[in-house]
Amino acid sequence: METWLNFIQEIGFPVFVSFYLLHRLEMKLEAIHDVLVTLKVK
């Protein structure tokens, strides 16, 4: 059981950071998409 806890502790933080960065990237990509759509309409 202790080996599993160590594994989760070691792997969990990088996974959390990766999901956080992907979320931020997704928000920026959506903003870029919205600007491009508004430029296309004009």
Q: pLDDT at position 23, please?
A: 92
Confidence at residue 12, expressed as pLDDT on a 0 to 100 scale: 84
pTM for the structure as a whole: 0.62
The reported pLDDT for the residue numbered 16 is 80
Q: What pLDDT score was predicted for residue 3?
A: 83
DSSP 1-42: -HHHHHHHHHHHHHHHHHHHHHHHHHHHHHHHHHHHHHHHH-
For residue range 1-42, list pLDDT tens digits in order: 788 778 778 888 888 888 889 999 999 999 999 999 999 887
Q: What is the pLDDT of residue 29?
A: 97
